[in-house]
Structure 1
Amino acid sequence: MPKNHYEVLGITRDATPDQIKKAYRKLARKFHPDVSKEADAEIKMQAINVAYDTLSNEEKKAEYDFELDHPEAFYQPGANTGTDGFDNANFYGQGFNQQGYSGFSGFEDLFGRFGSGFGGENYQYQKQQRQQRSYRGEDQHASIEVDVAIAYHGSTQQITLQIPTLNAFGEPEVQRKTLQVKIPKGMKEGQQIRLAGQGQTGMNDGKNGDLYIEIHYKDSDKIRVEGADIYYTINVAPWEAALGQNIETSTPEGTKVQVNLPKNAKTGQQLRLKGKGIPCKTPGHLFLVLNIVYPAAQNEHEQQAYQAFAEAFSAFKPRNA
């Protein structure tokens, strides 16, 4: 049985806009054809994009929920339905006679029966008026992941997106679009770039909508970005941590800094470098997260060194610490 848009995103109908966005991001990172190894990744990504385009738009979501709540008005058993159960063939055909709706003759009659609020007797006139008017294309949204170094230096990236849109017949489809995107330095995690006129195409000579690209930075075992702050894990030797030595370390910016470790520093301890995070209007901070690593004893001399270390700290009981 085809999945509806909520099932595609793995959410419930009472999901908040933020939950919808988070679900989309998670699936986009998993099934984007540029990173996914699954054979049907592109097909799944198309369904994910269409689902998000519908559920992230308040008006589209309301219309879609109405369709789900009134399947008898949109669905006919045995018909050629779409992924959400909507009967495209019969909806625009000669009605729902197999279900007993003998008075229906298609799209106009269906909405005419609902009364003047949906057009009623004025439907044909309103339809003609709509056909003569120009409509601006809808704004569209996409997200990309980039290396954190771009936050410090900026970059121009060529990206390929799969964007839900409408074709010349007003039918939904997924468009593959390749763009050159200039990412300025100082972009915070989750901040958007607006590309004017790159959204959905306008109708009847209407202006195109805009495309908003949301920037996300790639997480790794060493780097995590929160807003304008960056958490960067660095390895330190046991004696550096114990003695509080001065060390040199690289930064996500690609530079070197000198850092004084506190004596008896521990794994997980954070050192804040004020204003060394993402260089936006109010610069973020760079947090160095300490990770103490121990060298392997690979020869007799090194084993003796560890033995001497153990004897020097014979009173230390790590399981009791």
Structure 2
Amino acid sequence: MAVDLYEALGVPRTASTEEIQQAYRARARKYHPDINKEPGAEERFKELNEAYSVLSDPKTRARYDRFGADFRKIPEDYDERVGARTGGGAGTGRAGRTGPGYGGGDPFGGTAGAGGSAGSTGPGVDFEDLFGGIFGGGPRGRVPGADQETELVLTVEDAYQGGRRSLTLSGPDGRRSYEVNIPRGVTEGQRIRLAGQGGRGGNNAPAGDLYLRVRLAPHDTYRVDGRDLTVQLALSPWEAALGATLPVTTPHGTTKVSVPAGSSSGRRLRLRGEGLPNPRGKDGDLYAELRIMVPRHLSDRERDLFEELAGVSDFDPRRMR
């Protein structure tokens, strides 16, 4: 029995596109074969990808809602072809209508229509004549392969550099190897198209495309917001008070940033153009977020100096606004 795509994602049939996307992201992370090694996780991941590729597209979702699991076997011009055979009268099966020979969700109808016999789609329309090309291998049986989508997890460094990669991905048809050209500066949610690498077509019809939707893996150093990156920059109390020039890590190496005197924790210093590159526009920025650190253990001399400072300073951080 075919898996119900809504059940696969755990959403009701009334779910919005945003709810479908959120459900997919949550479950894809849980069942990704690179993360979940339990038996059945890879098969579950394939089901999730299939469900998302269909339900995230309004057109394919509408066809799935109408025809069910066999929607890909039904010609996209089904309504027009039935209408032409019947003169557009009762039993045309147009979206949102019912009539003799059309049972709503079943494209073949549930009962014989007026003037028709069991197995007919409606008055004057013969089931074998209309669908014989699909199921019998005739010229009309050339059904193009479906487009498919899977998740491509990249590090921030991979996204920054781009370039050609040999990847083995878990997609709707299992694990396969691909040569992928990753655009430099690719961002979260961006799709990379692999032409002809999607679902196989029927009767020698062309295959669909495979889309790799980029997800940036959580990083120990960088927080990502679009093309902007944020890093935490640790500094000592005296560096914050007196100012300093300090090294900052970026995806392409180390650079320097000038910390103004009198800086406090939480201050963000912008390094223009040091974020993710943008081949078609402005590069992202990198923000160094200051975090003042104090020694865990003080030497006797350090303690004397801090006590001396406490005695002469009238600074009260609780009165700062």
Query: Would the TM-score normalized by the shorter structure come out above 0.5?
Result: yes
Moved more, 303-312 or 227-236: 303-312
Aligned twin of 1:259? 257
Between the aligned partners of 2:35 and 2:188, the Cα distance in structure 1 is: 20
Judge conservation of contact 1:28–1:48 (CA < 8 Å) in 2. Answer: yes
Helix, strand or coil at the partner of 1:297: coil
Once the two structures are superposed, residues 238-288 of structure 1 have per-residue CA deviations (whole angstroms, 9 ceiling, x without a partner) of 22222222222221222x222111332222222222222222121122222
Between the aligned partners of 1:21 and 1:290, the Cα distance in structure 2 is: 35
Moved more, 308-317 or 211-220: 308-317
TM-score (norm 2): 0.72
Q: 1:123 to 1:204 in 2, by over 3 A?
A: same
Confirm whether residue 288 of structure 1 aligns to residue 292 of structure 2: no
Aligned twin of 1:127? 131
| Residue 158 of structure 1: how far off its partner (Å) | 3.4
Aligned twin of 1:149? 157
Identity %: 34
Q: 1:18 to 1:307 in 2, by over 3 A?
A: same
2:131 maps to a residue whose letter is K
Aligned twin of 2:239? 240
Structure 2: state its 5+ residue gaps. Answer: 69-105
Aligned twin of 1:163? 171
Aligned twin of 2:277? 279
RMSD: 3.3
| Residue 141 of structure 1: how far off its partner (Å) | 1.2
Aligned twin of 1:207? 206
2:209 maps to a residue whose letter is D
Helix, strand or coil at the partner of 2:277: coil
Matches within 5 A, 1:22-61: 22-36=22-36, 38=38, 40-61=40-61
Helix, strand or coil at the partner of 2:126: helix
| Residue 56 of structure 1: how far off its partner (Å) | 2.2
Between the aligned partners of 2:185 and 2:25, the Cα distance in structure 1 is: 22
2:272 maps to a residue whose letter is K
Once the two structures are superposed, residues 131-170 of structure 1 have per-residue CA deviations (whole angstroms, 9 ceiling, x without a partner) of 4221221111122121111233223333333333xxxxxx
1:223 maps to a residue whose letter is Y
Between the aligned partners of 2:112 and 2:62, the Cα distance in structure 1 is: 20
Between the aligned partners of 1:257 and 1:320, the Cα distance in structure 2 is: 32
| Residue 31 of structure 1: how far off its partner (Å) | 1.8
| Residue 8 of structure 1: how far off its partner (Å) | 3.8
- Number of positions where the alignment pairs a residue of Structure 1 with one of Structure 2: 272
Structure 1: state its 5+ residue gaps. Answer: 69-106, 165-173
Judge conservation of contact 1:21–1:56 (CA < 8 Å) in 2. Answer: yes
Between the aligned partners of 1:224 and 1:114, the Cα distance in structure 2 is: 62
| Residue 199 of structure 1: how far off its partner (Å) | 0.7
Q: 1:10 to 1:266 in 2, by over 3 A?
A: farther
1:236 maps to a residue whose letter is L
Helix, strand or coil at the partner of 1:186: coil
1:217 maps to a residue whose letter is L
Q: 1:108 to 1:236 in 2, by over 3 A?
A: closer
| Residue 314 of structure 1: how far off its partner (Å) | 6.0
Judge conservation of contact 1:108–1:123 (CA < 8 Å) in 2. Answer: no
Judge conservation of contact 2:250–2:274 (CA < 8 Å) in 1. Answer: no
Aligned twin of 1:184? 183
Confirm whether residue 230 of structure 1 aligns to residue 229 of structure 2: yes
Q: 1:290 to 1:119 in 2, by over 3 A?
A: farther
Q: 1:193 to 1:46 in 2, by over 3 A?
A: closer
2:48 maps to a residue whose letter is I
Helix, strand or coil at the partner of 2:197: coil
| Residue 205 of structure 1: how far off its partner (Å) | 1.0
1:231 maps to a residue whose letter is T
Q: 1:209 to 1:304 in 2, by over 3 A?
A: same
Q: 1:176 to 1:318 in 2, by over 3 A?
A: same
Once the two structures are superposed, residues 274-313 of structure 1 have per-residue CA deviations (whole angstroms, 9 ceiling, x without a partner) of 2222221211222222222222115434444443443344
Q: 1:8 to 1:128 in 2, by over 3 A?
A: closer
1:157 maps to a residue whose letter is R
Q: 1:127 to 1:3 in 2, by over 3 A?
A: closer
2:25 maps to a residue whose letter is R
Judge conservation of contact 2:24–2:52 (CA < 8 Å) in 1. Answer: yes
Judge conservation of contact 1:222–1:234 (CA < 8 Å) in 2. Answer: no
Between the aligned partners of 1:11 and 1:303, the Cα distance in structure 2 is: 60
Aligned twin of 1:137? 145
Aligned twin of 2:13? 13
Helix, strand or coil at the partner of 1:152: helix
